[in-house]
Structure formats: C-alpha cells, structure tokens
Structure 1
Amino acid sequence: MPPSLQGDERTSRRPLLEIVIPAYNEEGRLPGGLLQLCAKLARMPFPTAVTVVDNNSTDATAEIVRTWPRGPVPVRLVECPIPGKGAAVRAGLLQTRAPFVGFCDADMATDLDAIDVAFGLLLTGERVVVGSRAHAFSDVENRHSRIRELGAVGFRSLAKVLVRGVSDTQCGFKFFDGPLAREVAARLRTPGFAFDVELLARCAERGAGIHEIPVQWRDMPGSRFSPARHSAGILLELGRIWLTLRTEPRTAARPGWEPPLDPVGYP
C-alpha cells in the first residue's frame, strides 16, 4: 500500500495511543521534537496521535503546530490560557479520547524507545508507567549545576511523602490508562512544576500501582527552571498538594479547577 494511503488509513481510525506535549515558547525545540516523536509513532503498528498544548506562548509555537504537515500521525493544537506546565498537561489529557495516553516534554530529553516499554506494560494491565532517572538501569547525562542537583534531591525527599515508592516523580515521560488519566486530570489542581506529584498521588489514591521504568535521558539546553526563582514556589505547591489531599474527602463535593496563586511554570 502506498505511504499516503497508509497514512489516510491510520488517521481515519481512532488512535490507540495519544501523546500530549505541553509547550511554552518552544519554537526552537518543538519542530525537532515533533519530528522525532512522529517518526517514532509512525513506526508503531496501530493508529496514534499527538496533541500539543500551547500555554500562552508569545513566539511561533502555536503556528508551528497549525502548519504542521499532514502525515500518518495527526498533530493537533490545544490552547491553554492558564499559565503553568501542570495546567497545560491537564488541558491536553482532558482532550484525549484514546484507551492509552501519555505526555512528554518538547525537548524529547527521554529517549523515545521507552515508549515501546511503557506501552507494552500498559497492555499487560499496568495503569501508570513513568520514566525514572533514578532507576538503577537508567542512563542519565546531567549537566545541571551542583545547586540544582541538591535541590532535586530535596524535592524528591519531600515528594516521597506524598507519593510513596516512586523514586522520580518529575521525569517528563509518563503514560497511563486513558480513562484513569482523564479522571485524575479532571481533579488536578496544581498548575505548576509540582503537578506531577499530585497527578501520581491521585492515581495511587484510586488504587493504581505506579510502575517505574529505566530511561535514557539527556539534559537538553533551554530549561527555564531556576532554583533561586522557583524553589519557594515549589515548596508552596507541595504544601498545597498535601493539604488538598488530606482535606479533600471532606470537600469532595467541590469538583472543578481552582488554580492557586503564583503557579511555578516550566522546568
């Protein structure tokens, strides 16, 4: 079958896997990241799709997605006016319809071969599969400063209080049973950097085990995270998550999105 007809046949069917990419001012990294991701997904033997969530970008991020060439992997744009990576991931997950979903960062710092492992585990019944840079078999190239590394160690220690048994809550490579992801995203209240902690904690609340897998991860240039500017906000977000999860049974009748002030944005 000619490639064009293969593409038409794939895109006419409901995707089995949808991947969300949150994006804020990613005109420099997004084209290369999309090329890598679409090439990887096009080789998979079932329909897939990509959703890029533009999070109030002031550059050409949205236009890159709008004009992305048609191919075997549909790429669509979702707009998210609420600032923060957590808000963008939430918006993207809520727009998915596939039985299996995931999200990854625009820089594709995690080697995409891990998609095969994650998807295979989802097919065997795992409901949450996440990449872990702290896994004993992970290959991590990290050029971060010593201060940032120490901050990451401190963050992980605090995150373990909320998500027990997970060594790396912040790797931007997570895959889920679709209905679970949409149910949890609907209740996600953390719009900033620490949203992963709340997302995983809510999955665990619903009885989902969190399966960590090793990854090949490369520190990519362009990170916007600064320990000096963001550490206080992250601590505040973690405190809000802890308080929300502790008090929510008494306020479960108040669903909906109520973003706190001063969200911490993209790492």
Structure 2
Amino acid sequence: MRTLLSVVVPVLNEERRLPATLVGLAYALRGVSRRTEIVVVDNGSTDRSAEVVRAHRAGPVPIRMIECAERGKGAAVRAGVLDTDSAFVGFCDADLATNMDALTPTLAHLFDGVNVVIGSRAHPMSDVRARHSVLRQAGAWAFRRAVGSLVPGVADTQCGFKFFDRATATAVFTPLRTTGFAFDVELLARAQQNGAVIAELPVRWTDVPGSTFSPMRDGFRSFAALREIRELLDRETVSAPVLSSDTVIAEVA
C-alpha cells in the first residue's frame, strides 16, 4: 500500500528534543487511517541525534533516518522530501513549534485539491506565543517586506510547517538550490510559477528556546539569499504552469 503522508524532520544536534518530537509526531499521525511515515534527516549532527532515532521504539508509525552531508536546512529538507514517494509530503521543525493539530486540516485541504498548505503565524486566527528579541523581531519584519515581491500574497513564508501534493513537491524541490534558512522563499516562488494553489493555515505556534537560527549570522545570509533567489529565477526559463491556470493564495479559516 502506498504511503499517504511523509513528514520530514531536518535535524542538527537535536538529541535532547528528538525523543519528545518523535513521540509527539507519531501520536499526531496515528489518527490518520492510511499509512504514514516520519523521515528524520540528519544534517551532520555531532551529538547522539542519530543514535536517538535508531533506538526509538518502533510503533504504528514507521520512523526512518537518512543522512544529508550538504549542510543547511534547505538541503536537508530537500533530501528528505526527494527520498519519499508518498501521495503527500511535508516538513516540520524538530522543536515542534507548530502544534501538530494542524495536520488534520492540512490533509483535508490536500484532499480537496490544494497543492500547498503552509502554516501561517500571520493568519488572524493563529495563536502565536513568541519571545523573540527586539533585534529578531525587527529582522523578521524587514525580511517579510523584502520577500513580498518574490512571493506576493503570502503573509508568512518562514513558518516551519509546509505540506505538498506529490506533483508539486517534485516540481519545487527537484530544482531547489537554496540550502539555508531562506529556502522556503524559493519553494513558494517556484510553487507560484507552477500555478500552485497555496493555502495559508492558522496554527498554534510557540517559540521554543534553543533555535539554531542566529539573527546576525543567519539573518544576513538570508537577505543575501533573497537576492540570489531572484537572480536564479530570473535566469531560468519558466515553463507554462502545469498545475492550474492561476495561482491562488487562500486564507483558510
């Protein structure tokens, strides 16, 4: 039987959070009537992350691990997604900042024909509990402004909860070149180019301490990546949309 849903989790030195993450994900997925799986992508961890995954007790939801030698969250997610053949595939962060109760409406929208479902902290019905510094808040605001021309109409490109139907996943992840934290922008820009129907979903999101994102180091790189993404997409010959005639961005209640 073909797997219905694969959930990819990129991991870099997450030995402390992984046990609870795997339990929480498996619990969220066990209510799905058809086959699901969790794919952990070890992105060069130097701690016991890989051992934690291998030692995790097998349950009704299969958990497997692959390795991605190319560093970067974008590279790890791409490797995980392209290693699956399920009908639907997506990814979430190892800290489970986005509550997994969003999975049920996500699947409902995918079954209804939505090509891309993304968690949106900017949705008016989202419950966001953030403890970011003033510097990080200012950087996030500036980043959203800069992203607007690349992915028009999408309020939150960076929430670590995104799911795709198989055709869309193949179309946007195969040519993905951004390996760092800004990879979501390239993904969504490519989805729009392909005429994808994109739905922003309200989420319960909690800022979890221990993020590997550095506002100074990674923030600067992310802004530089936006310019590279624009140049990359401008250089490419964009084929006619293959998913639908018009891109639709839906705010889902």
Per the normalisation by structure 2, the TM-score is 0.92
1:115-126 map, 5 Å: 115-126=103-114
| Aligned residue identity for 2:58 | R
Q: CA RMSD for the aligned pairs?
A: 1.2
The whole-number CA distance in structure 1 between the counterparts of 2:223 and 2:28 is 36
Does residue 181 of the first structure (1) align with residue 163 of the second (2)? no
Find the counterpart in structure 2 of residue 35 from structure 1: 23
1:9-42 C-alpha deviation (Å, 9 max, x unpaired): xxxx331011000000010111111100001101
1:121-143 C-alpha deviation (Å, 9 max, x unpaired): 00000000000001111000000
1:126-205 map, 5 Å: 126-205=114-193
Q: Secondary structure at the match of 1:227?
A: coil
Identical-residue share of aligned pairs (%): 52
Q: Secondary structure at the match of 2:179?
A: coil
Does residue 19 of the first structure (1) align with residue 3 of the second (2)? no
The whole-number CA distance in structure 1 between the counterparts of 2:110 and 2:162 is 11
Unaligned runs of 5+ in 1: 1-12, 253-267
The whole-number CA distance in structure 2 between the counterparts of 1:178 and 1:61 is 28
CA deviation after TM superposition for structure 1 residue 160, in Å: 1.3
Greater helix share, structure number: 1
Q: Secondary structure at the match of 2:236?
A: helix
Does residue 65 of the first structure (1) align with residue 53 of the second (2)? yes
The whole-number CA distance in structure 1 between the counterparts of 2:152 and 2:105 is 23
| Aligned residue identity for 1:216 | R
| 4+ aligned runs moved over 4 Å, structure 1 | none
Unaligned runs of 5+ in 2: 240-253
Q: Secondary structure at the match of 1:119?
A: helix
Does residue 91 of the first structure (1) align with residue 82 of the second (2)? no
1:149-188 C-alpha deviation (Å, 9 max, x unpaired): 1110111111111111100000000011022112311100
The whole-number CA distance in structure 2 between the counterparts of 1:64 and 1:117 is 30
Per the normalisation by structure 1, the TM-score is 0.87
The whole-number CA distance in structure 1 between the counterparts of 2:216 and 2:67 is 29
CA deviation after TM superposition for structure 1 residue 220, in Å: 0.3
The whole-number CA distance in structure 2 between the counterparts of 1:167 and 1:184 is 19
Find the counterpart in structure 2 of residue 211 from structure 1: 199
2:218 to 230, 237, 255: 230
